[in-house]
Structure 1
Amino acid sequence: MATIKDVAKLAGVSIATVSRVINHSPKTGEAAREAVKRAMEELNYSPDPNARALVSRVNDTIGCMVFDVADPFFGAMVKAIETECRAHHKHLLIGNGSHDAAQERETIELLISKRCEALIIHSKALSNDELTAYAQKSPGMVFINRLLPEMPSRCIWLDNHYGSHTITQHLIELGHKHIACVASKYDIEDAHERIRGYQDAMRESGLDPDEMAVERAEPNEEGGEQAIQDLLGRGIPFTAVVAYNDAMATGIISVLIDNGFRVPEDVSVVGFDDVIFARFSRPKLTTMRYPISMMAARATQMAMQLATGEAPENNAQMFRPVLVRRQSSAIAPQELR
């Protein structure tokens, strides 16, 4: 079996040059690169990934933990990460955290054990202290959708308060005074900040954000269905609903239509995220566009730079969502303005 020494001898270059070619280093001249490639083909030489990792001290696999890869939002996030991985000749290893502390801990430790030195972590269940401890042991670990005050330069996150405040204000400007809020049941910062944004927008407009008009459920279509059924059963008057995400919004719309309500003529419904189905639902969904693909690409670039000892081009980054007006929000019914 051919070795790296055999490749170097046949190509007439040093072993270090062969290693640089294998690891796609830009510091190798084109002539040397072609000579090494020809020698590898002639000798049928395949680099040992474990040996490469030992030499370069960086594995060619990037680790990623998300809530649930089957969720369209996290599917978009993973796709953006994979695009960056392919551009840098890296492989991607994915694990689900499910907003469960034990599962998140197990997934992070598994990714570390697989020698993924570049890591993009979406964690909501673990404490700041525990995540900081992991990051101190793994220099290439970057957190997405999470701000750790102890190490903000390793974080990329969204201004959830701004997003929820903006879309609630959109409904208020349409004349809505009775606005319900369907939130995630999970005890996570995203959920708290989106409720706070809704409440602040209501108060600033002189409206009462009644706690009875806030319903919490699983952040998916079924959760949206259950939440709006509970609100209807409670007899809470509302002409608009602010949903935690687009999935819950579609579940809400389905139940409202089944119960004889017209959307948006009787009830406006708005979402959050702007996932793929938001613009294909009927009515098309008014929502906040979450720049998750851009955030995921940036997080991947940061993780790869940190893993190789480079300082990232930028420090901590906070992104803001953008209001996308579509068909599911309209002027409030005249009699309830």
Structure 2
Amino acid sequence: MILPVQGRTLKNDEWTPLIDLMLEGEQIVLTTHENSDGDGLGSEVALALVLKALGKEVSILNPTHVPPNYRFLMDSFQITHFDPSSEEAVAEVTLADVLVLLDANLHDRMGSLWPHVEFARELGGMKVLCIDHHLEPEDFADMMVCENYASSAGELVYDLLRALRERLRQEVFTPAVAEALYVAIMTDTGSFRFPKTSPYVYRIAGDLVERGADAALVYDRIYNSLTPPALKLLGLALTSISILDDGDISWLFISQEMLRLTGSKLFDTDLIVSYLLSVPSVRLAVLMVEMKDGRTKASFRSRGSVWVNQLAKKYGGGGHMNAAGCLFPFSSDKAQKVLLDDVRLFLKNPESFSS
């Protein structure tokens, strides 16, 4: 198992154990976390295209649907929503030799896939591989590359494919692969403005553009594709933001009623959280969304050395230093009260939340 190390880039030979396991498989399933984003989806598509070109039977099965602004990635490779009630879908998982989880390092982020993955490991010896860049990985995979220096899972997949190219002595970066990786890296770096956007990341982006990624088109497809319902939700949300505690905290709760009134969907909330840090005084931003099943999703963003992954960890979540999230298994009323008390305590005494 390769553990996180800050401030470096993996060398080609450090990818060898994972490449060995991946190449030994004939039937390979790729997946990412629930409520998938550009990093997970782009990384999946890039890796799937390369493995298919190498003659592998490859499928992408995800626990939730692809958001509309990322569906153009399916022009390059089919992404299927895993239906646990489908015998065909279950068989596709249980008969696979290798499963690769991208952009997540906790087994429960696989949602409805995980019980079938467990069964496949017991039944036929499926190998589970994990490629991720978040903090505090869970030790559940047969081989895990979890490097939190990386800006994105896409950065790691880029390095993996460079190592694979050297190993096989053949080119693997087609224009479609380059564009999928550009999606992954561009979105998870906030269009190259987040702190982990190192000089190396800019060099990767330049290389991917040279190899065929259309940077302007990718940006337009992802960020200029709001549906009318999503735009209505954004307008309603912006009027509902609360600034608390002398400007330290920004707070927004989106109810099922707000989603119903605007005709919007859960994935339409993803772009809203960035607005919560637009007030310069805000140190910690919280977006809470009421789920259909009664649970409550919380997303955290922060400035400076406010390690919101420690706050998320208290509730079984995780993420990055300045971007994290969790899922409360109880009502939104209770979740809001509990979380606001803890956010205030966390800002006053963050050490009390450290593990």
TM-score for both structures, normalised by structure 2: 0.28
Bigger Rg, structure 1 or 2:
1
TM-score for both structures, normalised by structure 1: 0.29
